[in-house]
Structure 1
Amino acid sequence: MGGGTLPNKTIPSPVVQISELENKDLMSKLMLNEIPIIPRINKNNIIIDLRSTSEKNDIYIKDFFTKL
């Protein structure tokens, strides 16, 4: 979490983690979605941290993956 007074601490949160190798176009699809979903990459995995969005937006993430 940041570089502030507790740089080695993490905040637990639910994430969606997908192997980047599963779908090479997934990053583009996420970012070019009608409502863009901006993930992060960690160790070749696409990670969507649900802490970074409001609960009311969870439906957009669900809909995106349902339509894949």
Structure 2
Amino acid sequence: MKTVFDVRQLLKKFGTFIYIGNRLADLELMEDEIKELYQNACISAQEYQLSVLILKQEARKIREEKGADE
């Protein structure tokens, strides 16, 4: 797992499709769903950690881009 797309594919395996239209909100909701899957023992600790890391990195990039635009 290396990209946000890979995290989306993991969520899709569990029937979770996320699209709000706001990229940052999508990432936050995806992170919440990943946490739920981990708490319910549906994914491993490694999948959880890697997924959260990927989502947080992408969210940070978006926030930095928004900060540069202002």
Both proteins in one fold, TM over 0.5: no
User: Which structure features the higher share of helix residues?
Assistant: 2
**Higher-strand-fraction structure:** 1
Higher radius of gyration, 1 or 2: 1
